[in-house]
Amino acid sequence: MHTNNNQSARAAELRQRAEQQFGEPANGARQPLADQSPEETARIIHELQVHQIELEMQNEELRRIQAELEASQTRLVNLYDFAPVGYLTESETGMVVEANLTAASLLNVTRSELVRMPLTRFILPEDQDVYHRHRQQLFKAWESQVSEVRMRRRGSQPFWARLEAIIAHNEEGEVVCRVVLSDVTACKRADEGRQKLKDQLATIGKMESMERLAAGVANDFNNMLAVVLGQTEMALDHADPDQPFFANLQEISKAVDRSANLTWQLLSFARMQTVATEGLALNDAVESMLANLRRVVGKDVALAWTPGPQLWPIAMDAAQIEQILTNLCRNAREAIVGKGWMSIETKNITRDNDDSLAHAGYFPGEYVALIVSDNGCGMAPETMNKLFEPFFTTKHAAPGAGLGLAMVYGIVKQNGGFINVFSSPDQGAVFKVYLPRYAVKVEHLRQVEQTTPVGRMHTSLGAAEKLALTSKKAAKSGVVS
């Protein structure tokens, strides 16, 4: 009501001033219109009509400019509200005083809810210190600052947010913060994926270097063992069993045998064993090994067996499968304190291109998965990073310790497969061994022979046979002694 009275008084004042100016000519003498000549009157009327048209044109131009300004303002408002990033204005105390619709949408709240609310309410507790340091540096340096924090989204999972802030002044001259808020969760995941691939590639390179080293060591070690074994056997052939040193020669022979086993394990890791070219029915092979595997895990650990239906064949030797399962089961048993459980499972798996892009060293195709799980103590990430390295062990050092999982890795890689390991402390472990499908008909599969126990094809070899085979493998691999 008070505003309307002011406007009326202002209009009356303007009218009065106009009437005074109209009644007081500039030259001090006004000539009545009645005394004007017809020509002068016509001229005045013409000028008035021209001025009227000019005023109408000016009014039309003003209306057009006003419409353009309103349209431009609407576009700017839409650009501001529906920008791909959120725009926020914070007070010096950290209170949100202005926000666009994108910022409210990112936090899954309404704009009215977001305004007059501190931004810290949406930041996770563990990242609050990051945000406070960000603001302190902003007001200290008065320069643009960038930080990344995790923020809450109402009714959804937290997301990674990038905050870009600058210091400014509002219309009243007050200090405010202009903040650009963007969701960088996808970028974070992509960076993590790239880093994971780099780590996997580095691991693959390290393992390949270790394989070459193991092959060279096995070859050199084999040459020395061959000399020791030959000399020992000659001494045993010519020595009297009643002589005191005969027992020493036998101990030397046993030590050579154990060393030959170690050489054989190194060869397994270095992928220098012969690869089978015939199809194997994995379920049948595992079935025949269960009795031995139950002895490995002991009576305090329940071993469950879940064979997959219509399992595809694989191109591997049954002895290699037993080596894989024996080492995985022994490793799982050592991770279980007291009583526990362990499971062996098989199933068909098809890996696509997305899987191969997400994991270095993986290839798309059809695989048979051999899965060994346990409820043991689990592993920390630093342990998993070294899991397949030769001689790496978390147990007390012993001759040949730390070669079990390295041998598993070598056998699987030798046969064109790969391994996934999932574990965390106190959460057990899952080893998923992927073995390529063998493209043959089921009726042509090679069945497990019952006359010779599975796995004894290599493990029953004597030291001399192992050393001979080792020499042949080394020669085929091109390793020069």
Tell me what the mean pLDDT of segment 243-270 comes to.
Answer: 72
CA–CA gap between residue 317 and residue 52 (Å, rounded): 105
What pLDDT, on a 0 to 100 scale, did the predictor assign at position 248? 83
Euclidean distance between CA atoms 49 and 56, whole angstroms: 10
In this model, does residue 165 exceed pLDDT 80?
A: yes
Above pLDDT 90, what percent of the chain? 12
The per-residue pLDDT for 341 is 93
**pLDDT at position 305, please?**
95
Q: Does residue 242 register a pLDDT over 70?
A: yes
- Rounded to the nearest integer, the mean pLDDT of the chain is 76
- DSSP for residue 27: T
User: What pLDDT does 215 receive?
Assistant: 65
CA distances from 38 to 3, 44, 51, 329, 376 (A): 47, 10, 20, 123, 117
pLDDT digits (tens, 9 = 90+) for 261-303: 666 656 655 555 555 556 889 999 999 889 889 988 888 999 9
pLDDT tens digits, one per residue of 63-122: 888 888 887 777 777 677 777 888 888 888 888 888 888 888 888 888 888 888 888 888
> What are the tens digits of pLDDT across the range 415-468?
888 888 999 888 899 999 999 998 754 444 444 433 333 333 333 344 444 444
* Residue that wins the pLDDT comparison between 74 and 171: 171
Helix runs in 82-108, H state only: 101-106
pLDDT computed for residue 439 by the predictor: 75
**Domains in the chain: boundaries:** 86-183, 198-477
State yes or no: pLDDT of 16 exceeds 50.
yes
User: What is the pLDDT, as a whole number, of residue 337?
Assistant: 87
Span 86-183: which CATH code?
Answer: 3.30.450.20
CA–CA separation, 356 and 238 (whole Å): 61
Q: Which CATH number fits domain 198-477: 3.40.1380.20, 3.20.20.80, 3.30.565.10, 2.60.40.10?
A: 3.30.565.10
Give the per-residue pLDDT at 466: 46
Rounded mean pLDDT, 138-148: 88
Residue among 361, 299, 288, 372 nearest 331 (CA): 372
Q: Can you list the alpha helix ranges (DSSP code H) found in 24-81?
A: 38-81
Rounded CA-CA distance 165/182 in Å is: 12
- Residue 32 banded pLDDT, cuts 50, 70, 90: low
pLDDT at 391: 65
Least confident stretch, 203-217, 230-244, 249-263: 203-217
CA pair distance 378, 386, nearest whole angstrom: 14
DSSP letter assigned to residue 92: T
pLDDT-derived band at 53 (thresholds 50, 70, 90) equals confident
Whole-prediction pTM? 0.46
Res 460: pLDDT: 37
User: Which stretches of 306-425 are DSSP H helices?
Assistant: 318-335, 353-358, 381-384, 404-414
pLDDT of residue 7: 52
- Inter-CA distances, 428 with 205, 253, 290, 376, 431, Å: 28, 41, 21, 4, 10
pLDDT tens readout for residues 174-230: 888 899 999 888 888 888 777 777 776 776 676 666 666 666 666 677 777 777 878
pLDDT for residue 191:
81
